[in-house]
Structure 1
Amino acid sequence: MIALVYFTFLVLSTLAFGLNVFIKKSKTDEQVGNNPNFVQFQHAYFLPYFLALAADWLQGPYLYKLYSHYGFLESQIAILYVCGFAASVIFGTSTTVLADRFGRKKLCITFTVVYSISCLTKLSRSYGVLIIGRILGGMSTSLLFTAFESWYVHEHIECHDFPTEWLPVTFSKATFWNGVLAVIAGLVANLLAGFLKLGPVSPFLLAVPLLAASGLIVTKKWQENYGNKKMQLKKSCIDGLRHIVNSQRMLLIGAMQSLFESVMYIFVFIWTPVVDLDYHPPLGVVFSNFMVCIMIGSFLYKILTANRVKPLHILNAAIISALVATVICIGSTKSHYEQPKVSFLAFLILEIACGLYFPSMGFLRNEILPETHKVSIMNWFRVPLNMIACIGLMILHDEGWRKGTRHIFILCSILLIFALLCGFKFSRLYKDEEVKKEVESAA
């Protein structure tokens, strides 16, 4: 198993960077590269943001292992994960309003402080302290993926007056380097916890100085910006819900996102006990394999769209691929006949599916969701997403259901089947609207 993990990492890394060669730079990329002011502005954003991302990724490979190392049962660990997910969805609904009202720079700094405290709680073996740490971690994750990007968009458009067409260039670079950082973070975490034998808490401790450096740079180099200070959370939520209810396409997009991403949330919990069975492979390298697979999926998406394959078709293909992976895992996790090698390979398919899913879903959201209410609509999408993930993990926590992890993969397969049905329904609606537009244009 260990040899398989290392060999797979070498093959996948070679494939990922090989696929990157096929992606050609656009004219916008060339224009951006020739503008030194914009490049300097990008770097000022990237440095603290990438430090924050690196700190976040360092914690991925050994979170479950740390709790297991402290002697907690799988059911107790499930509750810890549920606390993190619940905190993320509860706090996530208000992060944008808080950023607009109190300042995005302040929230970025708050993120580094709160996440550092969350990391330090991992030193404690107290279950109560660890629950507090997970809650703080869930809150921090919500801030990481809202405050930094909101700050950048405002500075890009309002302060520096750069073209809005250049925004995707920054986000594309951020996505690429986010993947690279995730791979490196997995290897570094494995070096600390495995090779140097510093224990599973060591990656969390390394994250603290990275967060401190990120917060210091934001404090010294960034200027404060605000949004609509008069925006009311209640009105924003009601308006967002009204848009979802009145649009069948939005309902279907929200259903697909909630169903697919809830499977990903459950996977975050379940992968460690599945691959760590008997063989005890290097979890950091396993994690890096997963991240490389997401990069491969992202590269495949770019190649497919360059060859005029519609993002909607790619999205359905991603759901089908994920479904195949979970069905394989139903067989490979059967009680007394566990096959962690097969599960590991199925997980790689699942991660490639994620790499295809996220950019295709992002494209469809940008096309369908109204810009003025996008944030509130996205917050509503996250509610069922986190609820499904929490219910799934609580089922795992229920001793009456627990016969290995097989039932969890059955649940994930059912969720993906419903997501695929929504995808087919959405495809029919999309096709009907295209035909209607052609008829109207011909008339």
Structure 2
Amino acid sequence: MNSYSLIERVAQHLQRRVEDATRARARLHLLDWLGCVAGARQGPVADMARTAERDVLTRTALLGNVLEMDDVHRTALLHPGPVVWPAALSAVRETGGTMADLLDAGVRGYEAMIAIGATFDAHHYAHFHNTSTAGGFGGAAAAASAFGLDAQRTGWALANAGSTAGGLWAMRHADTMTKQIHAARAALEGLWFARLARAGASGPVAVLEGPQGLYAATVREPRPLVLGDGWRMAEVSFKPWAACRHVHPAIDCALDLRAAGQLSGKMQVATYADALAFCDNPHPVTEAQAKFSLQHGVAVIAAGRDAGPEDFTLAAIEALAPLRAQVTVTEDGAITARYPAHFGASLSCGGGSVALVDTRGDPERPASEAQIVAKARSLIAWGGLGDGDHSIEAAMHGDDPRALLALLDAWL
């Protein structure tokens, strides 16, 4: 009986056929990513990308997570969209592939990134940015799919992605563009490794569990590798609001209380430990800090705003200071115990209280196609690109990836 490494198991798993229903789901994630790129096309990161990089897809790789509205997988604690789609599009552009090739590459990229990322533990996440450390697997799998690589060569690409995996959370402690660089590096590196594997570059397929491998270096208690009959893209959440996902449960609670006319007075958020570790910030001074502030997220809703990109600008930070001062945060052990399978929170205030186990956009409370399209339309408008009809049509119903490349070239 053959004994396969974890990477080899993933590579073989990726050879399965992608069915039409999953391709339809992939179109929603593709559109969601396009909206995130469009919404970020005007700003410091976009200016930097235009100056630094000539290639439009390298520029997009730097923009997909700027707004903090990129899709997210809860148990893997990562954002696949901003890594997988630039790698997939780049590979399909290189091969002249079809829209089906692009969608299949996206599905397989999400699968590898999530399956491997979900094996990382809390120790890993405390120090490493999972979107970066698992992202190279996603980029490599997406490009390998577009290139038509067999299981062996796909495994080599994944193995070399694992051999160079990295991305420290040190960037959280300074106002930098490193988070965007993490996603772009993973996408571009994964693409390169697939290109090298296509030409015969081998890699250490025991890079996860083997001696001096990724687990030994960064993980204390690896979780089991789960490879099911379906595709794990179905487990990915869409983000309705322009903030870190750890802030979303508190925003969701605030919206429920506001809708009931009960959001008033001092506001007490209870949530899981990681939400506090990443987002307990009562005094943000930059847009990035505001997006990682539970206090600011609740204040946005208390002010009657909708938690769009405009609500995390410097002007909004200044305007909402008095409301942020009314918000306190604490850990709830029961909510922490359910995390990361469930991102929950409770909110109590003078008018009432509410508790949520799951957040809007999660698979248990899924976003509808109409809501995903509306989000993309609003982000395209935020980016100064009009009503977005052409972009939405190209992503949702188009049959030619070159139309998407032309859109991105015009945008960036």
Q: What is the TM-score with the length of structure 1 in the denominator? A: 0.29
Higher relative contact order (CA 8 A, sep 6+): 1
Higher helix share: 1
Higher strand share: 2
